[in-house]
Structure 1
């Protein structure tokens, strides 16, 4: 990655750019819309880690190029209901759920998602969580296994009509 980047917590006003990033990374049936991002940011913006370009010498300075996000909950498994209901977020919960790990298409395969994942894992450890849970498509299982996630098999999720595998990283 030749650009200088920064990882920061999201702000309430990030909803538009995050919804645009989501649409560029997921099929329409899987992508959260702007209203969903507004609700999530109002409920748990501190659990959104945003990657942006800091290099003022490039045209991309200030551009949001990555995101990892999801609520904290007492639930042990990620369910489809969590995507729409921010009431599952409980700051005193033990598990960090990850709804999305996204990198803008122009910046993929440059280590952005890995940087964001490491920061998310570190945040969960610092907050004293038991671990992280996510669902992913089959072709991404190996990516998450590199961070220590264990494949728990096909998830009960039918989000967006896709087949999802539940992955768990326990501390």
Structure 2
């Protein structure tokens, strides 16, 4: 499968939101305003995957100065700082019509590649317990329960060296 990767654009927002809402419940999903802000501020680390010109998935997260994501990152986006040591992933989602096609893994690898090219130490994310095996299959290590209270869920810190 020949996926094309590109930086997200504001014109991609409707499809990104459709995929986001399909992948996360209402309390977990980002708002349209938040995603729009991320597209504007994080264009170099907001990647969409396209299959035959159709967006089928995306991954986004800012560079950060802490090993683990905390809830403030979900509330306010800041531009990437070249001095930050860590690359976060706040959201990764694949259109349900395209599940099982390795798109999520390819998006993770794309973010790892970006992190490496920007001299980050590792990629960090939080996930629900049911997703730990997926991330471990993709080279991430579970470093335990997160302090995040996002959406009143129990999250786990996952990291992958670059």
Question: Shorter-normalised TM-score: what interval?
Answer: over 0.9
Q: Residues 5 and 49 of structure 2 are in contact (CA less than 8 Å); yes or no, is this contact kept in structure 1?
A: yes
Deviation at 1:170, TM superposition (A): 2.4
Matched, 1:149 2:147: no
Q: Residues 42 and 79 of structure 2 are in contact (CA less than 8 Å); yes or no, is this contact kept in structure 1?
A: no
Matched, 1:167 2:158: yes
Q: Secondary structure at the match of 1:49?
A: strand
Distance in 2 of aligned mates of 1:168 and 1:74 = 14
Deviation at 1:14, TM superposition (A): 2.0
User: Which residue, 99, 109, 116 being the options, matches 1:108?
Assistant: 99
Residue by residue over 1:24-62, the C-alpha shift from the partner in whole angstroms, topping out at 9 and shown as x without a partner, is 1100100011111111111111101101112xxxxxxx2
Partner of residue 109, structure 2: 118
Distance in 2 of aligned mates of 1:44 and 1:126 = 16
What is the 5 A alignment of 1:125-144?
125-144=116-135
Q: Which has the larger radius of gyration?
A: 1
Deviation at 1:16, TM superposition (A): 2.2
User: Which residue, 66, 74, 81 being the options, matches 2:57?
Assistant: 66
Q: Residues 73 and 88 of structure 1 are in contact (CA less than 8 Å); yes or no, is this contact kept in structure 2?
A: no
Distance in 2 of aligned mates of 1:164 and 1:73 = 18
Unpaired stretches in structure 2, ≥5 consecutive residues: none
What TM-score results when the alignment is normalised by the length of structure 1? 0.88
Distance in 2 of aligned mates of 1:102 and 1:116 = 9
Q: Secondary structure at the match of 2:74?
A: helix
Matched, 1:31 2:29: yes
Q: How many residues align?
A: 162
Residue by residue over 1:128-165, the C-alpha shift from the partner in whole angstroms, topping out at 9 and shown as x without a partner, is 11111000111111111122211111101111121110
Over the residues paired in the alignment, what is the CA RMSD in angstroms?
Answer: 1.5
What TM-score results when the alignment is normalised by the length of structure 2? 0.93
Q: Do the aligned partners of residues 12 and 5 (structure 1) sit closer, same or farther apart at CA in structure 2, a change above 3 Å counting? A: same
Deviation at 1:89, TM superposition (A): 4.1
Unpaired stretches in structure 1, ≥5 consecutive residues: 55-61
